[in-house]
Amino acid sequence: MKRNRLKIKDLFFVALYGVRARKGRATLTSIGIGIGIAAIVAVSGISASGRADLLSTLESLGTNLVKASPQAGFFGTQEELPKGVLGMVERIGPVQEVTSTTQTDLLVRRSNFISEFEGGGISTIVTSAELLDVIGGNLIDGRFIEDGLSNIPVTVLGNVTAQRLGINNLSKPTKILIENEWFGVVGILEELKIHPDLDRSVFIGYGVAKTLFDINEEPTTIYLRANPTFIEDVVEVLAPSMNPENPDQVEVTRPSDALEAQQAAEEAFTNLLLGLGSVALLVGGVAIANVMVMSVLERRMEIGVRRSIGATRREIRYQFLLESIVLSGIGGLVGVLLGTAITLGYTNYTNIVFSIPVWQIFGAVLLALLIGAISGVYPAIKASKIQPAEAVRK
User: So what's the pLDDT on residue 394?
Assistant: 55
Average pLDDT, the chain: 80
- 49-54: average pLDDT: 76
Chosen domain end from 200, 224, 253: 253
Pairing of strands 95-104, 221-226: antiparallel
Say yes or no: 266 and 358 in one domain: yes
How does pLDDT run across 171-230, given as a tens digit for each residue? 888 999 998 899 999 999 998 877 888 999 999 998 999 999 888 878 888 898 888 788
Q: Are residues 37 and 118 in the same domain?
A: no
Q: Is there a single domain that holds both residue 123 and residue 228?
A: yes
pLDDT in tens, 285-305: 887 888 778 777 777 777 777
Taking the model in full, what pTM does it have? 0.61
d(CA 365, CA 34): 10
Same domain? For 235 and 268 the reply is no
- pLDDT digit string, tens, across residues 376-394: 888 878 777 777 666 555 5
Distance (Å) of CA 29 to CA 72, 114, 121, 283, 332:
59, 60, 53, 10, 12
190 vs 267, which has greater pLDDT? Answer: 190
Residues 79 and 225 in one domain: yes
CA–CA gap between residue 125 and residue 201 (Å, rounded): 7
- Which structural domain range is residue 248 located in? 64-253
Q: Note whether residue 3 is domain-resident.
A: no
pLDDT at 319: 78
141 and 123 in one domain? yes
Side-chain half-sphere exposure of 325, counting CA atoms within 13 A = 18
Its sign, for the CA torsion 166, 170, 175, 178, is: positive
Q: What is the pLDDT of residue 35?
A: 84
Q: What H or E segment, with its residue span, contains residue 41?
A: helix 23-61
